Structure 1
Amino acid sequence: MHDELLLEVPTAECEAVKTLLVEQMQSAANLRVPLEVSVSVGNSWYETK
């Protein structure tokens, strides 16, 4: 399964938001398999690929 989120975040807050996103998304549901979460940062969709 593949989902994407797009957030606009001030540069100074990127690391804190990345950490929060990963923690919250990985613990969103109690599953038997771990949820893999990856976060990319860039000024455009192209830069995040």
Structure 2
Amino acid sequence: MAVCKREGFVIFVDGVPERADVGDVVDAEIVSFGPDRNSAEAEYVGN
């Protein structure tokens, strides 16, 4: 799981490969938002 912050959202990304290092840029698609709309869950789609 990767975590980042973008435009005020904390984003949790599932499915990031183990070979990814801290600071790597990955593409992810938001699949849901948290109840307070200040966080989001995403799925890895590539890099």
Same fold (TM over 0.5): no
**Structure with the largest fraction of helix:** 1
TM-score normalised according to structure 1 size:
0.20
The structure whose residues are more often strand, as a share, is 2
**What TM-score do you get using the length of structure 2 for normalisation?**
0.20
